């Protein structure tokens, strides 16, 4: 940035991004309209809806922007791929892909996918659309890189309603977990994946990551079942068996008030003879995070990691999940992610992707300005009691066959 003003540097980065994606817009008028729209999303309009963006750009009406989002010919998925490649290039390799969903509160019943459903955005059942997203995070920054609109069965079972919202006939019902798996297949640059328990408890999601040779640390509910040849156990039962020596005090990353420090316990699971090579290249783990102020507050995780991984690294991956919440907040507050007024299916994808592009530019500029790094830590442990299923193995812990009776639950997970 030496030798140029900050404003000139920002303008240069934005122009380079516009040049990068220009080929996605075949006509010159579309390219200029896209540039105005993204500049508006990055601008200071009070609300970043069609009218205010048009006024900010100097347009008499929002008609041009409405055509850009609803009827012009361009491929939002191709632009999404450009956003993903740009973010990976600017933030660097070896990052974490974070899967989560967010809600967009709406009025009426005609916006594609809208319905009364639970959303963490309001913390209750609300009339909203739900988008499943992926963010990519490294020590240099984090940005949204993929998105899918969730369509409830009430929509996909009503083809007339779908056609009115311009939803393609080939788009059928897909669970949020299935949408997440589609996203993962597209975003293979990440070394790790993390997600909350809504996705972590899905065996198909975890198994896909294992088949792709991608490590993961995912949250799961306390009722999560862990299989072995001897039976099935709940993860909270296994964690209850952890000796005091198995808990380590580690930071899972920086928060608004400094390092986020918790007590952590982690142990390797026995090798899966069906899925794993001999010798194994990865191990599966159970993990738990315990609050320092309220020891009864425990979060549970399953992990899949290369042989030789350090516990502190697994903790760091688990802690990186909060980065996508920061992405949602920044993209909504600064880039108009949730301020669209389109109702059609294609309009949602186009606005969201252009907003992601705007947010990616902000992330790249911040990464250039400050960079970043991740701290690692470790703690020593001693030998556990002799009859505990938690057995010391080198510098880590391994779960042997538990000594209590397994829970008689027939369904499968691990």
Cβ–Cβ under 8 Å, residues 396 and 267: yes
Q: Across residues 356-367, what is the average pLDDT?
A: 96
Contact between 135 and 142 under an 8 Å Cβ cutoff? The reply is yes
SS3 state at 7: helix
**pLDDT number for residue 386:** 39
Give the span between the Cα atoms of 266 and 289, in whole angstroms: 9
pLDDT by residue (tens digit) across 86-127?
999 999 998 999 999 999 999 999 999 999 999 989 999 999
| Band (393; pLDDT cuts 50, 70, 90) | low
Q: What is the pLDDT of residue 370?
A: 76
Mean pLDDT (the chain, rounded): 88
How many Å apart are CA 390 and CA 397, to the nearest integer? 6
DSSP letter for 191, please: S
- CA 408 remoteness from chain centre: 34
Residue with token string 């913390």:
123
Cα 80 to Cα 130, 298, 360, distances in angstroms: 18, 37, 11
CB 145 within 8 A of CB 134: yes
User: Is residue 344 over pLDDT 60?
Assistant: yes
- Span 123-144, pLDDT tens digits: 999 999 999 999 999 999 999 9
What DSSP string runs through 99-121?
EEEEEEE-SSS-STT-EEEEETT
* pLDDT tens per residue, range 332-343: 999 999 999 999
Position 278 pLDDT exceeds 90: no
234 to each of 171, 203, 237, 291, 379, how far by Cα in Å? 37, 15, 5, 20, 27
Angle (deg, nearest 10), helices 50-57 and 63-70: 120
pLDDT value, residue 74: 97
More confident call, 264 vs 397: 264
In what helix (H) or strand (E) does residue 125 lie, and over which residues does it extend?
A: strand 124-138
Residue 374 three-state SS: coil
pLDDT band for 371, please (50, 70, 90 cuts). low
């Amino acid at each position: 940035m030496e030798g140029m003003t900050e404003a000139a540097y920002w303008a240069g980065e934005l122009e380079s991004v516009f040049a990068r994606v220009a080929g996605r817009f075949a006509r010159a008028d579309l390219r200029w309209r896209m540039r105005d729209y993204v500049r508006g999303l990055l601008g200071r309009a009070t609300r970043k809806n069609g009218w205010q963006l048009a006024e900010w750009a100097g347009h008499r009406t929002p008609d041009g922007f409405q055509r850009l989002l609803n009827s012009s010919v361009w491929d939002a998925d191709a632009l999404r791929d450009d956003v993903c490649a740009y973010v990976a290039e600017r933030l660097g390799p070896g990052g974490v892909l974070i899967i989560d969903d967010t809600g967009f509160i709406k009025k009426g019943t005609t916006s594609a996918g809208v319905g009364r459903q639970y959303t963490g955005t309001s913390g209750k059942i609300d009339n909203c659309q739900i988008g499943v997203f992926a963010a990519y995070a490294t020590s240099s920054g984090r940005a949204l890189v993929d998105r899918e609109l969730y369509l409830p069965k009430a929509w996909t079972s009503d083809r007339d309603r779908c056609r009115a919202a311009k939803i393609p006939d080939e788009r059928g019902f897909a669970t949020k977990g299935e949408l997440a798996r589609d996203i993962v297949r597209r975003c293979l640059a990440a070394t790790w994946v993390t997600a909350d328990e809504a996705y972590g408890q899905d065996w198909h999601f975890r198994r896909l990551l294992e088949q792709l040779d991608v490590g993961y640390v995912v949250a799961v509910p306390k009722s999560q079942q862990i299989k072995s040849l001897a039976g099935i156990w709940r993860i909270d039962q296994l964690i209850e068996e952890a000796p005091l020596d198995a808990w380590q005090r580690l930071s899972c990353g920086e928060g608004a008030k400094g390092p986020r420090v918790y007590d952590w316990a982690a142990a390797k699971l026995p090798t899966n003879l069906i899925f794993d090579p001999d010798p194994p290249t990865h191990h599966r783990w159970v993990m738990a995070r315990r609050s320092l102020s309220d020891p009864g507050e425990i979060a549970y995780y399953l992990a899949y990691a290369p042989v030789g991984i350090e516990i502190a690294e697994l903790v760091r991956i688990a802690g990186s999940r909060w980065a996508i919440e920061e992405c949602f907040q920044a993209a909504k507050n600064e880039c108009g992610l949730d301020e669209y007024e389109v109702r059609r299916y294609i309009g949602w994808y186009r606005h969201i992707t252009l907003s992601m592009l705007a947010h990616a530019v902000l992330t790249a500029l911040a990464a250039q300005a400050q960079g970043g790094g991740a701290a690692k830590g470790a703690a020593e442990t001693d030998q556990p009691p002799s009859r505990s299923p938690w057995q010391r193995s080198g510098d880590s812990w391994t779960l042997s066959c538990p000594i209590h009776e397994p829970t008689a639950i027939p369904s499968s997970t691990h």
